Structure 1
Amino acid sequence: MQQRLIANRYALLAELGRGAMGVVWRAQDQLLGRAVALKELHPPQGIAAEERNVLEERMLREARTAGRLNHPAVVTVYDIVRENGRTYLAMELVDASDLATVVERHGPRDSVWMAGVALQVLGALETAHAAGIVHRDVKPSNIMVRPDGAVKLTDFGIAQAMDDPRLTTNGGIVGSPAYMSPDRLSGWEASPASDLWALGVTMAHAVEGISPFERTSTASTLHAIMNEPPVLRLASLALAEVIRGLLTVDPARRLTASQARGMLTAIVQGTAPVPLPRKKKNTAVRVAAVALGVVVLAGAAFAGYQAFKPKNTSAAGSPTTSGTPTSANSTEWSTDTAPLPIGAPLPSRRIATYGRGGDVTQWNLTGTECAKDFLTQGSPVLASVPCDKPHGIQLFSAATPLWDQPKTVAYPGKDWLADFGRKYCNEQFQATASRSKEALGFTALVPTQQEWQAWNDPTTPGRQEVLCVVWKQDRAPLAGTLVG
């Protein structure tokens, strides 16, 4: 069988990989006598001309971007060829598995080994950032690790030069959702800080064996990014500090490349940890939430919510001096604290607790999931059901009030959390209620102190979220989602 020859120069030897948009070949450069990887752009039949042009431009961008960078951890691009209506990119052949495959086949990585890999990726990113380029898609599948430990950061196809417009056909965010930083999800431009966040997610994935934020749906993935700091059980204390520093939600407080380099170097060399400079903490409580199916930073809505101790006010949304209100879709709250018998339905607009020792003994829903049964005193909510099927309740929003504080932060108290929950869930309910003509009940669930403090439990980590739950006031089944 005659070998296929591209540009009268590159002889195709074997297929290395195939995706929806193309094929990567092992090829021989017959002019220079060296092995290369040849990426062939091969979009599916019927793709729109505009989309094809975007894909071709991304391949050209990959060539231009890599050509501007001189670093051992960046794959070298040799040539770009157009032939018979197709585009080919000749690049350095890396005989290696990507980090995602390494973890899948061999399990979680050792912390010192991962620190060495991360240092090399960090070097590639620092070189790119110094050249004004943001990678935008750092993740395990884009990091090749050779048997000798050498690393190559690949796929600069969606990299964005800071002076170059984005390559999207619809203005959307480009990249892998599970590795995107909260600032990008909130609409900020990709930046060196967002690349460093993605590196932190990648490190957590490698040492723990699972992607820390990836969930079964995009909505629950985005919720996890904004509200659920990763549980680090296998990472060493020193590497966990680096990961948590890179996964700081506020990009202004996130570890810089220089700080991360010093800490990673100390891990690899086995020297004393590099102390971090202490930044003055902001006492304002900021909120990150997934509401109405869209990731939002709810901190703006609570910019004035600063004190740990709740203030007594008579404004709408504050506790009332009467019992449970009866008006449909009211946002006034009950101050009735009389104990409920086991199995009694939890009233609307009366703060309840969840988790260890709580009114709801266990809570397993995330995102905007639904559950079959109603909230009852002393019962858990263990499993979700499809929201397009009949169900009793829906988690319509959630927020982690102290998301920018360490998980070890002291329990702020049920009263403080209750005051936060009333204000936060009221705001979210107003939008939710407008989608339904039914009379709806809703409440806020706040974590118990035991649940809050169990954040590092190795089997069932505790949660620190405030949950907003909705149902029909007459306790009839809901037939569809109340969240857009």
Structure 2
Amino acid sequence: MLENTPPVSASKQRWLPLTSPPNSPVALPMRLALAELPALPLNQRPQLAASKTLPAKVPDVDVNQPLTPPSTPPKPENRRASASADRIEAMLSIDVSMTEKPSELLGFKANQASKQQALGPDMVPKPYTMKYQLHEELGRGAWSTVYRAVENVESLKSLTNLPPTPPTSPTTGATASSKKVLAVKKPSSRQAHKIIEEEAKTLTYIYSHANAATHLVPFHGFDLAQHSIILDAVPLSLEAHAKAAIRRPLSTKTMFDPVVGAEEWAGFAEGLVGGLAFLHNIGCVHGDIKPGNILLRPRSSGELTPLYCDFSSSHIVSSTDEEKEVEEVSAVTTEYLSPELLKALSPRTSDRAVATYASDVFALGVALLFAAIGESPYAGARIASQKLGMAKEGLPFEFARRGEQASRVMMGRAVEKALKGALTKEVGKRVAVSEWRDEIHEVVKSWKEGGWARGG
């Protein structure tokens, strides 16, 4: 060692990056310069367990496979891009057992922090440190690419305090069907890293509240190494389900019911309005509610549970400086935007297009209207500009009654009663989600007591 060279402690020596031989003329000044740098705190050191592999080659994917969670391809007629799907043609066949309840989060304890604490500048998304293997690409959009992945079985076995998911046979042991199937949402570019990380922070905040997995696609964490969100793979969207249902033969017995069936539609309505009430109660505005962003998990009874996904356009309402903190909407799907947001998006206005609780209510109303008729209420539009003009009028019921499925949304029947408060054009007269939940419950109760077939 040279004269007057300050001694370097052992703890600091471990963190010195050596890119040249230790005593070389290049390395020595670097070592002297870095010797006084403090060691990185433990909470800032990289996660050593999170080693992931990308596929060498992405296999070809059938065009009829859906996205899980969906991603929206950019549309030329839209000024803003979306990270969620605008169209899903069919359900993806996944060989995995679906349990009655969503899978529990691995090692994640609820943290009842305040909104300011949860999404403050120092907030980090819940880390995901399990190993998984990426498989085929399920879809891509403006900000993200979604892959199907399988969690490493050996990693699951190492957690002795957790049962395998789904359960394995005691005689055969772990099999291919026992592996947990995941959806991995990866940013499609460096510019999208921040968007995906912010979505992971939002999901971490939501999942700090009890019952979040009742209403959302289960969130397992954020893979920091790959800047990816890890979710459960859920094979079916409300959009694909309703589109498939509309192809069923129409009869005089079913012509007044929603295309998915009266009882199933009522279950979707109660579940989704209840889920939106949960989100709004904890201060979360979804910002991009549409049938493609609602996934359906099969239960053992055969029923389908609706779950919200894709929170890339979401924000948490703050009690201070809300207008400065909240960005304008980044997702534009004309059919589901409220009229006030469409007006704010016009180049002729200086209004900010910020999603609100009221715009969420309107969007969910249109999504449930879609589930009732199996298509957009503006399906009669011949070109995109005509569809935009119809949506700006804020009268989706009126346009739905001009289509082939008009009998399903007749005035005075159950679907119209359940949705009319949410689909009010004027924001001040639009029903709040807490009131809407009570109204839906009463409509469904009356509908059920009067007999589903009679439509209420």
TM-score, with normalisation over the residues of structure 1?
0.48
* Residues 226 and 263 (structure 1), Cα distance of their counterparts in 2 relative to 1, 3 Å cut: same
Alpha-carbon contact 1:17-1:25 (below 8 Å) kept: yes
Q: Distance in 1 between matches of 2:152 and 2:274?
A: 29
* 1:180 Cα offset (Å): 0.6
In the aligned structure 2, how far is the partner of 1:29 from the partner of 1:173?
A: 35
Please name the residue that 1:19 is paired with: 140
Looking at structure 1, the residues matched to 205 and 310 of structure 2 have their Cα atoms a distance apart, in angstroms, of 10
CA deviation profile, 1:385-434 (whole Å, cap 9, x unmatched): xxxxxxxxxxxxxxxxxxxxxxxxxxxxxxxxxxxxxxxxxxxxxxxxxx
Structure 1 stretch displaced more, 4-13 or 172-181:
4-13
| Aligned residue in 2 for 1:106 | 245
The answer for the alignment partner of 1:235 in structure 2 is 409
1:180 maps to which residue? 337
SS in 2 for 1:17: strand
Secondary structure of 2:354's counterpart equals coil
Name 2:426's counterpart in structure 1.
Answer: 250
- Provide TM-score, normalisation by structure 2: 0.51
Rounded to whole Å, the distance in 1 between the matches of 2:205 and 2:384 is 30
Q: Which residue in the other structure is 2:385 paired with? A: 219
Partner of 1:306: none
Q: Distance in 1 between matches of 2:390 and 2:136?
A: 37
Q: CA deviation at 1:67?
A: 2.4
1:311-357 C-alpha deviation (Å, 9 max, x unpaired): xxxxxxxxxxxxxxxxxxxxxxxxxxxxxxxxxxxxxxxxxxxxxxx
The count of corresponding residues between Structure 1 and Structure 2 is 262
Tell whether the 8 Å contact from 2:337 to 2:359 is kept in structure 1 after alignment: yes
Separation in structure 2 between the aligned mates of residue 36 and residue 145 of structure 1, nearest angstrom: 16
CA contact (8 A) 1:246 1:255 kept: yes
- The structure where helix makes up a greater share of residues is 2
* 1:177 Cα offset (Å): 2.1
Structure 1 portions without partners, runs of 5+ = 274-484
Query: Does the 8 Å CA contact 1:61/1:158 hold for their aligned counterparts?
Result: no
CA deviation vs aligned residue, 1:143-173 (integer Å, no higher than 9, x gap): 11233221211111211111276676xx565
Deviations 1:88-110 (A, max 9, x none): 2222343x410000012222222
**2:229 pairs with one of 66, 80, 89:** 89
Contact 1:111 1:239 in 2 (8 A): no
Query: In the alignment, does 2:219 pair up with 1:77?
Result: yes
**Do the aligned residues in 1 keep the contact of 2:414 with 2:447 (CA within 8 Å)?**
no
When residues 75 and 166 of structure 1 are mapped into structure 2, their CA distance, relative to the original with a 3 A threshold, is: farther
Q: 1:220 to 1:143 in 2, by over 3 A?
A: same
Q: Which amino acid aligns with 1:100?
A: E
Could you report, residue by residue, the CA deviation over 1:8-42 in whole angstroms, capped at 9, with x for unpaired residues?
73322643722132123232254334414242314
Contact 1:66 1:74 in 2 (8 A): no
Counterpart Cα distance in 2 of 1:58 and 1:202: 25
**Residues 138, 199 of structure 1: 8 Å contact kept:** yes
Change in 2 beyond 3 A, CA 1:68/1:185: farther
In percent, how many aligned pairs have the same letter? 21
Structure 2 vs 1, CA of residues 65 and 211 (structure 1 numbering), >3 Å: closer, same or farther? Answer: farther
Q: Unaligned stretches of 5+ in structure 2? A: 1-50, 55-127, 157-163, 166-179, 247-258, 345-352, 450-456
- State the SS of the aligned residue for 1:22: strand
Q: Does the 8 Å CA contact 1:36/1:90 hold for their aligned counterparts?
A: no
1:52 match: 192
Alignment partner of 1:264 is 2:403? no
* CA 1:196–1:172: 2 relative to 1, 3 Å: closer
Q: How much has 1:4 moved relative to structure 2? A: 6.8
Task: Label 1:251 to 1:190 Cα distance change in 2 as closer, same or farther (>3 A).
Answer: same
Give the conservation status (yes or no) of the 8 Å contact 1:61–1:159.
Answer: no
Does the CA contact (< 8 Å) of 2:197 and 2:227 recur in 1?
no
Match of 1:352 in 2: none
Q: Is the 8 A contact 1:63 1:80 kept in 2?
A: no
Contact 1:58–1:167 under 8 Å retained in 2: no
Cross-structure match for 2:305: 150
Post-superposition offset of 1:5: 4.6
SS at match of 2:239: helix
State the structure with bigger RCO (CA 8 A, min sep 6), 1 or 2: 2
Match of 1:196 in 2: 361
Q: Deviations over 1:180-219 (max 9, x none)?
A: 1012223353211111101110111111111113545443
Q: Are 1:115 and 2:255 counterparts? A: no
User: Does the 8 A contact of 1:66 with 1:76 survive in 2?
Assistant: no
CA contact (8 A) 1:114 1:206 kept: yes
Correspondence 1:32-431 to 2 at 5 A: 32=156, 33-34=164-165, 35-43=180-188, 49=190, 51-69=191-209, 70-71=211-212, 72-83=214-225, 86-94=226-234, 96-107=235-246, 108-147=259-298, 148-163=303-318, 173-187=330-344, 189-213=354-378, 215-227=381-393, 228-230=395-397, 231-232=400-401, 233=406, 234-235=408-409, 237-270=413-446
The match for 1:10 is: 131
